[in-house]
Amino acid sequence: MNKDVIRINNFISKEDSKILSNWILNNCDKSFFKNANMGGNRKTTRYSTDENFSYPKEALDIRKKIIDEFNLQENEKNNIYPPFKNGIVASFALNNDTCYEHVDPVWAENYDTLHCNIITQAPEQGGELVINKKKYIMKENELFCYQVSKSSHEVLQVKGEKPRLMWVFGFCVNKEQWNYINGKVNKNI
């Protein structure tokens, strides 16, 4: 059974979630958080690939956990990370944020772009993810993965004073890797 999305509940601990949320909250006003330019009220590290900042160790550990969970491997032809710093993006979305419908680029020939998202703080209301016209409510600490270069996606309006905090772990995967991930996760559902 092939699914468009992969979801793993409680993929990260509450402690790691708090550390990642605090990192965003403590850094969102620094220069490496830039306007996301996605039609909303969001700042992100997406465009700060060359700037001198470091993600917390926990973010790198979670990226490694995803790599191990899904058996992702680099080879001589492909760097498995999209061109964001460490293949990771931190996102800070405020009240009235939205993200317009779009499809992400392919970063490596014969590989699709996979995003594995983790919400570390959900907004009071809204912020639902829409993939191929189907609406999803992402849960805090859940790993939510889908092929962003194959799927039309958008985020509905965030409402309330509590910002939506999200981490994106990006990878370049080929068809065989996606089928492996899908098969492995769906056996455990």
pTM for the predicted model, two decimal places: 0.92
Q: Which residue has the tokens 């800070």?
A: 92
Stronger pLDDT, 62 or 176, i.e. the higher one: 62
98-110: per-residue pLDDT in tens?
888 999 999 888 8
Q: Which of 65-74, 115-124, 145-154 has the lowest mean pLDDT?
A: 65-74
d(CA 160, CA 165): 13
Stronger pLDDT, 187 or 66, i.e. the higher one: 66
pLDDT at 180 (0 to 100) = 87
Q: What CATH number is given to the structural domain containing 154?
A: 2.60.120.330
pLDDT at 189 (0 to 100) = 43
Q: Which of 6-10, 47-51, 124-128, 168-172 has the lowest mean pLDDT?
A: 47-51
Structural domain count of the chain? 1
Give 112: exposed, middle or buried? Use CB within 10 Å, 0-12, 13-18, 19+: buried
pLDDT at 186 (0 to 100) = 61
30-55: per-residue pLDDT in tens?
999 988 887 778 899 988 876 789 99
Q: What percentage of the chain carries pLDDT values higher than 70?
A: 93
Average of pLDDT values for 64-81?
78
pLDDT at 81 (0 to 100) = 83
Average pLDDT score over the chain: 89
Q: What percentage of the chain carries pLDDT values higher than 90?
A: 66
Contacts of 155 (CB under 8 A, 6+ apart): 40, 93, 97, 98, 99, 127, 128, 129, 130
Q: Which residue has the tokens 């009240």?
A: 95
Domain extent for 27: 5-187
C-alpha closest to that of 115 among 139, 80, 140 = 80
DSSP letter at 37 equals: -
